[in-house]
Structure 1
Amino acid sequence: MTTSALRRQVKNIVHNYSEAEIKVREATSNDPWGPSSSLMSEIADLTFNVVAFAEVMGMVWKRLNDSGKNWRHVYKALTLLDYLLKTGSDRVAQQCRENAFTIQTLRDFQYMDRDGRDQGANVREKARQLVCLLRDEERLRQERSQALKTKERMAGGGSGGGGGVYGGIPPSYHPGRRTSQPSMAVLYGEEFSRSRGSPSSFNSSAASSSSPRAASDLEQARPQTSGEEELQLQLALAMSREESQKDQCCRQGDESLLQKALDESRRESESGTQE
């Protein structure tokens, strides 16, 4: 498991992302390769479910709002959006038109990497293509029809023509249910529980791991080498520190606002006394 994949898995658990959101995050990751057609096909199928559609599009727009070194998030999100426009629900195009400004602004996306290469050019060109496609309804209709036929033909009737993903609810998706990923305690063991200050969380996870699914998750998550085990622990502790720092910043911000309010009230009181 790569470092980026491990970090992404940690964030998926910490933020309790849904199955649909996790798939979009994987398809639009910072990994130096494009999203697989099979993964994009799964995401396209999910857009026919009302709940999953909202989760998919919400994560896509979030990725499109990234910038700088995360240019791959933006470029892959545009690539995924192009695929969804052609093979996903009709609602994808409708929402894209409602948020056309977000895509249009990406035609001016700028980012130069450390080697002086203009990586923003990829984003600008992809955004331009999408804007043109959205403006030409007839062309979108034709490309959509062709893409859907190709997708159905590639499915090859393996599903027996039944169930109908198109326009129906994908059978593998359960609205509102979070993915059954291993918990943080299962991923990182007792050390993470202690760093979070809740040793009982590991005990409860360990108890639940007696089921076959939990045992399978534990087996997959268990580090294969001492180096990977150390990396997992470091990432878990880093995430714990990050959460603690965020809480501290929020508290400091609240105290600062309270102090400003008190100072302003004192000044107004003094001003009234002088008058």
Structure 2
Amino acid sequence: MTTSALRRQVKNIVHNYSEAEIKVREATSNDPWGPSSSLMSEIADLTFNVVAFAEVMGMVWKRLNDHGKNWRHVYKALTLLDYLIKTGSERVAQQCRENAFTIQTLRDFQYMDRDGRDQGGNVREKARQLVSLLRDEERLRLERSQALT
């Protein structure tokens, strides 16, 4: 087990996170690889449960508000949100539209790493794609129907 995974486990216990919150934290970790499709699928299934939906979305919004060296939290939260909008409960897209401003502000996300690389570019592009999808009802309906097949 990596030290980051161990640290995450300790934080999960200390903060008494629910199973749903732990899954979102794992999917949006600072690890240099993306969330697995099986984990995102589990999280999408949780969005159909009223209590778990609130926990999942609460943690996603928290991750979207991260900044600086935690740019991966933000990028992976956008990736997860994209997946949830297409495969999760309809309420995910509804809540995203209600909180569109939060996603829109990420189109200006800035972060340069120690090596001078602009790590914010991926976040900005993902935010643009998500905002575009949320504004296009017909495309969203099509994406959801394709995801279900």
Same fold (TM over 0.5): yes
The structure number with the bigger radius of gyration is 1
2:93 aligns to what SS in structure 1?
helix
Q: Which residue of 1 aligns with 2:68?
A: 68
- Tell me by how many angstroms 1:104 deviates: 0.1
Q: How many residues align?
A: 148
Aligned-residue identity in percent: 96
1:40: which partner in 2? 40
Distance 1:147 1:68 in 2: 33
CA deviations on 1:202-249 (whole Å, 9 max, x unpaired) are xxxxxxxxxxxxxxxxxxxxxxxxxxxxxxxxxxxxxxxxxxxxxxxx
Deviations 1:124-166 (A, max 9, x none): 0000000000000000000110011xxxxxxxxxxxxxxxxxx
1:77 Cα deviation from its structure 2 partner:
0.0
The alpha carbon displacement at 1:43 in A equals 0.1
Tell me how far 1:81 sits from its aligned partner: 0.0
What is the distance in 2 between the residues matched to 1:54 and 1:65? Answer: 17
What's the offset of the Cα at 1:60? Answer: 0.0
Cα deviation for residue 79 of structure 1 reads 0.0
The whole-number CA distance in structure 2 between the counterparts of 1:68 and 1:14 is 24
Q: Displacement of 1:49 after TM fit?
A: 0.2
Secondary structure at the aligned position of 1:145 is classed as helix
Which digits, 9 at most, give the CA deviation of each residue in 1:31-84, with x for residues without a partner?
Answer: 000000000000000000000000000000000000000000000000000000
CA RMSD in angstroms, aligned pairs only? 0.3
Residue 109 of structure 1: CA displacement?
0.1
Q: Secondary structure at the match of 2:111?
A: coil
Instruction: Write the distance in 2 (CA, Å) between the matches of 1:18 and 1:68.
Output: 26
TM-score after normalising by structure 2 = 0.99
TM-fit CA distance, 1:5: 0.3
Residue pairs, 1:188-207, within 5 angstroms: none
Write the distance in 2 (CA, Å) between the matches of 1:3 and 1:126.
Answer: 29
Structure 1 moving runs of 4+ over 3 Å: none
Relative contact order, higher structure (CA 8 A, sep 6+)? 2
Unpaired runs of at least 5, structure 1: 149-275
Unaligned runs of 5+ in 2: none
CA distances 1:6-36 after superposition (whole Å, capped 9, x unpaired): 0000000000000000000000000000000
